[in-house]
Amino acid sequence: MQLPHSRVVLSWSGLLLAVLFAFSMTSLPAIAATSTESAHSVDQTRLQRKPGQSVRQVKGNKSKVQASKGRKVVAKQVRPARKVTRQTERRGVVKRAAVAKRVVAVERGRVPRVVRSVETSRTAAAKRLDPQILKTALVSGAASSVVRATDKLQVSATSTATNDDPLALRSGSALVVDEGTGRVLLSKNADTARPIASLTKLMTAAVILDAHQPMDQVIEITDADIDTLKWSSSRLRPGTKLTREELLKLALMSSENRAAHALARNYPGGLAAFIPAMNAKARSLGMSATRYVEPTGLSPQNESTAHDLALLVKAAYHYPLIRDFSTHPESEVDVGQRTLQFRNTDHLVFNRGWDILLQKTGYINEAGHCLVLQTKFEGRRVIVVLLDAWGKYSHFGDAQRIRNWLEAKGFDALHDPAVRTGAVADRGEDQPNLVRTAFVEKAAPAGLGE
């Protein structure tokens, strides 16, 4: 009766043994792999171990190798920064050496060669004024601060009081005058006083020429000529020596601030006498709303109106050097070990469609972009004054719009805006829009002015 029970026990025992056997067979590969990897590691350690060296020492060497690899990666990342630092240091050393070399050159009394003019093609010979004409102008005083009595110079207040801007100009103030007939063709805020920036240099040049100082005299740029108001840049470094003539050219053509300041500093009596001379000349020309406090235009306290600047442009035209230098396209300056290239700041000078007789540009933040021109349209001389234009090329764009407008409308179709509004109906037909000043110009020698 007990045999069936024993059979059941045996069957369950066999099943359990079969399960254990199957489980052991599945785990053998993992055990074998682990043992193989351990054996491989032990073999590699034995191969790397040197005679008399333990396994622990070999493992320590491995950790050292890995640490050195990490340091190399960090070094690779740091190396570019060190390279940039070294390059900066080298540049500083080279710059200091160059400065020291220039100082030595100045101390030895080396005088750089004067500026030589070059044409736009850079292949033509140096262009200079006829020495005889220059000598005659300086001796006779033909380039004076006053104009001929026959010139109708001062714009009437009634002509400029009425704004007439058919072109929607970008400039805050504008004035266009037909110089031959004395008619005001366009007037926009012409009596509003504004900062005039480097337009100041026209007056600076006129006062310098009125002093009749030797134009071939060498003047040195010093630390006193560095701009400490706006900290504007200049390529005329302290120690540069140029003639008065060439400094005047750079001041008018390229609006060089240090050149203008050096000219005023070497005026008889220095800056203390030069600034009053500028204001006295402005009063003599009828520029009643104009004020100067320094010779470069960097100060926003140098103020004038479009009306007053038209008078200045008219008077400045009688200076041959101002006409020539302000419209010169470019010049080279040889200052010893280097040559500098200067270009005219007025882009219209390089435009063949324009016949510009005299020009000057100006810009500071307070004044915006400014431009004065004396040019020819259809054979007639026209004075254009543009002040307070915001935008790098807005003043040039306004000048082009004025030119297109004159060519399209024609001079005969344009009239004084004050006449159109009837504001000057009571003046009488014989009273011109531009009235005379009380100053008479000295007799000009042949070949100078008009």
> How many Cα atoms are found within 13 Å in the side-chain-facing hemisphere of 267?
25
Cα angle for residues 133, 274, 238 (degrees, 5° grid): 85
Q: Are 433 and 156 contacting, i.e. CB atoms less than 8 angstroms apart?
A: yes
Enumerate the β-bridge partners of residue 383.
177, 374
> How many Cα atoms are found within 13 Å in the side-chain-facing hemisphere of 130?
8
Q: Is 198 one of the annotated active-site residues of the chain?
A: yes
SS3 string, 391-418, reads: CCCHHHHHHHHHHHHHHHHCHHHCCCHH
Q: Which of 198, 254, 331, 394 is catalytic?
A: 198
Cα angle for residues 404, 406, 408 (degrees, 5° grid): 65
Q: Are 281 and 292 contacting, i.e. CB atoms less than 8 angstroms apart?
A: no
Distance CA 242, CA 336 (A): 11
Residue 73's SS3 state is helix
Q: Are strands 380-389 and 434-435 parallel, antiparallel or unpaired?
A: unpaired
Residue 290, Cα to own-chain centre: how many angstroms? 26
Q: Is 117 one of the annotated active-site residues of the chain?
A: no
Please tell me what DSSP assigns to residue 357: E
**H-run or E-run covering 284:** helix 271-284
Can you give the length of the chain in residues? 450
Place of tokens 């070999």: 58
Q: Is 72 one of the annotated active-site residues of the chain?
A: no
Q: Which of 255, 299, 326, 394 is catalytic?
A: 255
Q: Residues of 100-114 as b/e, b for ≥16 C-beta within 10 angstroms?
A: eebeebbeeeeebee
Distance CA 320, CA 142 (A): 9
Nearest CA among 308, 449, 315, 320 for reference residue 385: 308
Starting at the earlier edge strand, list the strands of the sheet with 330-334. Answer: 116-117, 330-334, 339-343
Q: Are 358 and 313 contacting, i.e. CB atoms less than 8 angstroms apart?
A: yes
Q: Which of 201, 249, 281, 360 is catalytic?
A: 201
Residues labelled catalytic: 198, 201, 255
